[in-house]
Homo-oligomer: A and B are copies of this chain.
Amino acid sequence: MIVQLFWLGIVGAVIAIGFAFFQARKVLGYSEGNDTMKKIAGAIRVGADAYLKRQYTTVIKFFVIVFVILCALAFIPILMGQDEGLVNRFAPFAFLTGGFFTGLSGYIGMKVATASNSRTAQAASESLNKGLRVSFSSGSVMGFTVAGLGLLDITIWFLLLRFVFGANDIEIGQAMVKFGLGVCFMAMFARVGGGIFTKAADVGADLVGKVEAGIPEDDPRNPAVIADNVGDNVGDVAGMGADLYEAYAHAIIATFALGVGVGYSYGGMLLPILMAAVGIIASIIGTFFVRTKEDASQKSLLKSLHRGTFLAAGISAVAALPLTWLVASLELPANANATFYEATGLPPGQIVSMMDNVWGIFGAILLGIGAGLLIGHFTEYFTSDMYKPTKELAEASETGTATVMIGGLALGMKATVGPILTVAFAAIISFLISGGFRDGDINFYAGLYGIGIAAVGMLSTLGVNLATDAFGPVADNAGGIAQMSHLPEEVRNRTDALDSLGNTTAATGKGFSIGSTSFTALALLVSYMALAGVGREELSVANPPVLIGLFIGAATAFFFAALTISAVHKAAQSVVIEVRRQFKEITGLMEGKAEPDYAKCVDLCTQGALKKMVAPSLLALVVPVGTGFLLGAAGVVGLLAGIVITGFTLAVFMMCSGGAWDNAKKYVESGKLGGKGSENHKATVIGDTVGDPFKDTAGPSFNILITLSSSVALVFVYLAEFSLIDWLLG
């Protein structure tokens, strides 16, 4: 009976996808505006299409290589007569489906965003509320596509494994926890590649256009302007879509594994599926409450978005208790407990039932939802110019660029404390209340299940959260189109208001994904420990392989940051040189008599992104395997913990510094402290330029670094058995 309820996952997914489809049709019903607008939007669309096509083509090669390796590891041992392969036999195929759905999420989001930008510009020329509705609808296509496809992918695999391959609960849990590899491998390329593209174009366009030539942002004379607008779509939309697909799917499957580990069996797996389905419905309701009045202040715009997200969170929270109770009270199939005792070797009776911890699990879901909102609040506080930190940062420009830099770095470092403590205490309280306060291994797992389900709770309303996030780049693009097609000043002002709002919600969205990832990472860590069979005693932080692993993890996170920000740095330099060249060589360009060669800049960004996205992505693949070979499973656990801790902290630091620099610049541009063109403005523009790769390339990639390295470790878990250190120790 209980396994039939998993079909509700399909229902939830279909509702999400249907709603996304409905929103897409609504958006496409709006007018695209005049011919100039259509032409510009067309150019952006062509560029974004072309980039994503080339990116996916490159990525496919890596997918083929890894697929072949996985197949070899999975089937050669079986062909040679072994009982099982070195990796799970479903892993190669799940690797492909995960990658496919992740890429598809990004692609659909990008498609809708590039169809909505000119429509948003057109709508904004009518009213601010219309502009918000169109861009927000476009964002919600992405939000619900991601949630729908994620839920679909997981549910289908569950049903396949259960009904087609006849796997039992233990086998399903152990198989599915490894399914994240393809998801995060794809997400990594999309996030890093898109992030490099968008910031290379942005920094390149700003450094020459705004700073050297003194022409406004999004001026059609700037050869990098189309690349900049393409970047918003391939980085901030497609990259973010893939990224959040990853966070969402991973939270659910990691909780699956823990649910099985504690003996909750199908109930432990069903709860996250149903939470996701309920979250989709709550999100749909939430979207209807996002609207604004004309002439709304930034505060009231933000409030209108909060209305949608808070309402959805509230509905999910209220629904969580009956849902948890319902799932806990369902009867399991007769064989579920038997296979559990057989697999774990525990004496019957040691098992805990979900009903024992029903209040705790409910509490953990609430904590997850609350932690998400709280992290959002912290990032908002540190990055929005409505609050003191960013205002003070803008004022630091009075004593020059150096103090803006020092102030921004210190701000980001300070900003790490709130989210870290939130995650830390939400995690430990979730752990304790959902069973972890009792002695024994089983209760330890029950506590961890609480942490996993908290992540699911946090992400359950992804649909509406992502919508409030993904509308930002659409509004940004709309502003560009308004500027380039010389629409009236007020249109640009309206899209600017939406764009600035999008900056803040983007920081919040990134806080969500990194926050939930830290929970998920813990779940993956524990799954790894269980699969690798390392005892808790070996995993003492004072055990040298663990401690060394922690150190290597910290170095990996820092090196990853260095690679991604230098990639932007290098790619941007090539754009700078090209833009300077066009300004010099194309006669009549500055007078508006000749057109710049936009395609050349798009091409440079594409090349830079494709070339430079490989090293950071492979880092997450190579380091866990290498550490496993050198230090064994205990070293890998240390490594993963080190990557989580340092990666999380660096992510918050970089996203908040970058967000605050950006908004400090916008604060000055709004006329404060001398306004545009003043020395203060120049200082904050430099801050923004430094912050760009922080907040849009390196910062939001850390959560994928964390899950990708965990997934690699999980999939190649058997390889760590042949470690140098174990060989040395005999």
A interface residues, Cβ below 8 angstroms from B = 203, 207, 211, 396, 399-403, 405-407, 409-411, 413-414, 416-417, 420-421, 423-425, 427-428, 431-432, 436-437, 447-448, 451, 518, 522, 525-526, 529, 535-537, 539-548, 550-555, 558-559, 561-562, 565-566, 568-569, 572-573, 576, 631, 637-638, 641-642, 645-646, 648-649, 653, 686, 689-690, 693, 725, 728-729
Can you pick out 15 interface pairs between chain A and chain B where the beta carbons lie within 8 Å of each other? A399-B576, A405-B690, A406-B693, A410-B562, A413-B558, A413-B565, A416-B558, A421-B555, A423-B551, A428-B545, A432-B544, A535-B537, A550-B641, A554-B646, A645-B646
Q: How many protomers of this protein does the assembly include?
A: 2
Complex-state Cα separation, A448 to B543, whole angstroms: 9
Complex-state Cα separation, A641 to B543, whole angstroms: 11
Instruction: List chain B residues, Cβ under 8 A from A405.
Output: 405, 686, 690
Q: Which residue on chain B has the smallest CB distance to residue A411? A: B562
Contact between A641 and B541, CB atoms less than 8 A apart: yes
Query: In the assembled complex, how far is the CB of residue A418 from the closest CB belonging to chain B, in whole angstroms?
Result: 9
Contact between A562 and B413, CB atoms less than 8 A apart: yes
Contact between B402 and A551, CB atoms less than 8 A apart: no
Instruction: List chain B residues, Cβ under 8 A from A423.
Output: 551
Chain A contact surface mostly? helix
Instruction: List chain B residues, Cβ under 8 A from A554.
Output: 416, 420, 645-646, 648-649
Complex-state Cα separation, A646 to B550, whole angstroms: 10
Complex-state Cα separation, A646 to B568, whole angstroms: 25
Instruction: List chain B residues, Cβ under 8 A from A728.
Output: 432, 437
Complex-state Cα separation, A210 to B637, whole angstroms: 51
Contact between B542 and A542, CB atoms less than 8 A apart: no
Contact between B551 and A690, CB atoms less than 8 A apart: no
Instruction: List chain B residues, Cβ under 8 A from A424.
Output: 548, 551-552
Query: In the assembled complex, how far is the CB of residue A189 from the closest CB belonging to chain B, in whole angstroms?
Result: 21
Complex-state Cα separation, A559 to B652, whole angstroms: 12
Instruction: List chain B residues, Cβ under 8 A from A536.
Output: 537, 540, 542-543
Instruction: List chain B residues, Cβ under 8 A from A414.
Output: 558-559, 562, 566
Complex-state Cα separation, A522 to B693, whole angstroms: 35
Query: In the assembled complex, how far is the CB of residue A412 from the closest CB belonging to chain B, in whole angstroms?
Result: 8
Instruction: List chain B residues, Cβ under 8 A from A540.
Output: 536-537, 539-540
Q: Which residue on chain B has the smallest CB distance to residue A559? A: B417
Contact between B544 and A447, CB atoms less than 8 A apart: yes
Q: Which residue on chain B has the smallest CB distance to residue A556? A: B417
Instruction: List chain B residues, Cβ under 8 A from A573.
Output: 399, 403
Query: In the assembled complex, how far is the CB of residue A375 from the closest CB belonging to chain B, in whole angstroms?
Result: 13
Q: Which residue on chain B has the smallest CB distance to residue A688? A: B402
